[in-house]
Structure 1
Amino acid sequence: MAPTSSRTRLFVIEQDTLQRQQLVHYLVGQGFDAQGAPSPLHASALQSDLCPDVVILGRTTPEMNGIDACKRMREQHKHLPFIRISDSSDELERILSLEMGADDCLSHPFSPRELVARVRAVLRRMAQAVHAATTVEAGAIRMGEQQFQPEARGLQSARGFRALNPVEFALLDALVHSASTPLSRPQLMDAMRRCPGAITPRAVDAAIMRLRKLVEPNPNVPRYIQTVRGQGYVFVPHDSKTPAVLHF
């Protein structure tokens, strides 16, 4: 495989020293600027001069499982894309990784060539989203102090641009396009049909909770993404006079 044309910065978090070194060596050989650390607790480089473009999150310390590491990554670095490498081939593990904020997920054993392909795919999505965010204003949907930009596939606010992952985008786009009309869980599952991972009512509910954390001033009292008892969820536009819907 030919090296990348630019020095994209990657940061590898992997507890196993040999595997971390081998992976960093391979990525450098592919033209990336790659460095590593044994755990998220040692990843101070995320805030240093490295400023990685993508983080590869592998096996972490016994004190922090992979799902918790995904959650910590997304909470501390809201706009930084990362790919989880799970130690388990279990489907639920991959789904939870994506639900906790991972932009993509692989499981052991994996091909380094496939990892590079997925890194490039994440970078393409991010580049397209950032470009669209700086050029597309028409069609933006206001949600309080931020805007949902469908063509950019993300949220724009005074703090910057936040690209949505495929599941988040599919759900929010479906809700926005049916503003003020409740959508059932099966309808939302249908909107997610092209997203990675198993599509279940539980996955819908988990993704809705994530979206509320992103768009709601108070996720515990949703203003824009509301629950309709016995039906599903509804998007209430920013300037809508529709009264709040009772939650359950």
Structure 2
Amino acid sequence: MSQIKVLVAEDDMNIRMGLVDTLESEDYRVVEAKDGKAALELFKTDFFDLVLLDIMMPEKSGYDVCREIRAINEDVPIIMLTAKGEEIDKVVGLQLGADDYMTKPFGVHELLARISAVLRRSKRQAKAKKEPVQSPFIFGKFEVNPKTFKLSGQGRNIDLSERELTLIRHFHDHPGEVLSRDNILNAVWGIDYFGTTRTLDQHIAQLRKKIETDPSNPSLITTVHGVGYRYET
């Protein structure tokens, strides 16, 4: 049996059992929770390689659970499950540290593909963290410190998520180049990523709020319509 352990948090018994059966058929070890409170208690007392987290649950919402998991563990992959399909749900989930999201109903093959993808990315990121820490570098009028995940300048000291730091590094390494959305997704999310370019756009929008003087009229990371983005040096 695979040593990969998955926490499935879903209040709908039929959906939860379907997820459990599907994952166990692929030799994942599965622990299930019927509400957010139970999921968080399980996470605090056990080790998991992946968390599948429904958003709308009793006791604690998936948002709350995601936030508290991230306070405990910054690295465990989290896939959010939402029935609404509304963009705001996805944005909030990503802001709280989720790695991916799926809108119900979804196919078994897509679910398994996304799980495999986030696990591969997590493995690569864990390997990268063991490598020597990169030196601080300049991005626009800011200094970026990869060791502290801080961006400082213009009287501000800003915290960066791991994804935001990787995005900034990729733009920094390609100044003035027009980078397609696929190029950025492959570099930052990995070639195994099965999501849409909308995920990238949402992350760029959140990053602009931190680094742009006027996020609605960006001057540092600009949009090249129909193609992607460019770091203006």
TM category, shorter: 0.5 to 0.7
Quote the Cα distance in structure 2 between the aligned partners of 1:94 and 1:229.
24
AA partner of residue 38 (structure 1): K
Q: When the two structures are superposed, what TM-score results if normalisation uses the length of structure 1?
A: 0.60
2:31 pairs, out of 22, 31, 35, with: 35
1:67-216 residue pairs with structure 2 within 5 A? Answer: 67-134=63-130, 136-137=131-132, 139-141=134-136, 146=147, 164-165=162-163, 168-174=164-170, 176-177=172-173, 194=185, 196-198=196-198, 203-207=203-207
2:43 pairs, out of 33, 42, 46, with: 46
The question of whether the paired residues in 2 share the 8 Å contact of 1:193 and 1:199 is answered with no
2:22 pairs, out of 21, 26, 37, with: 26
Deviates more, 1:225-234 or 1:70-79: 225-234
CA RMSD, Structure 1 to Structure 2 (Å): 3.9
Q: Secondary structure at the match of 1:34?
A: strand
Quote the Cα distance in structure 2 between the aligned partners of 1:174 and 1:81.
22
Shift of 1:110: 0.8
Shift of 1:16: 1.4
Q: Secondary structure at the match of 1:102?
A: coil
Q: Which runs of 5+ in 2 are unaligned?
A: 138-143, 150-159, 190-195, 221-233
CA-to-aligned-CA distance 1:118-177 (integer Å, 9 cap, x gap) = 11111111111222322x3275447669266xxxxxxxxxxxxx9934xx2453225654
CA-to-aligned-CA distance 1:78-115 (integer Å, 9 cap, x gap) = 22211011111223422332232110110100112221
Q: When the two structures are superposed, what TM-score results if normalisation uses the length of structure 2?
A: 0.64
The question of whether the paired residues in 2 share the 8 Å contact of 1:11 and 1:54 is answered with yes
Q: Secondary structure at the match of 1:146?
A: coil
Residues matched between the structures, number: 193
User: Identity percentage over the alignment?
Assistant: 22
Q: Which runs of 5+ in 1 are unaligned?
A: 149-161, 210-224, 235-248
Shift of 1:28: 1.1
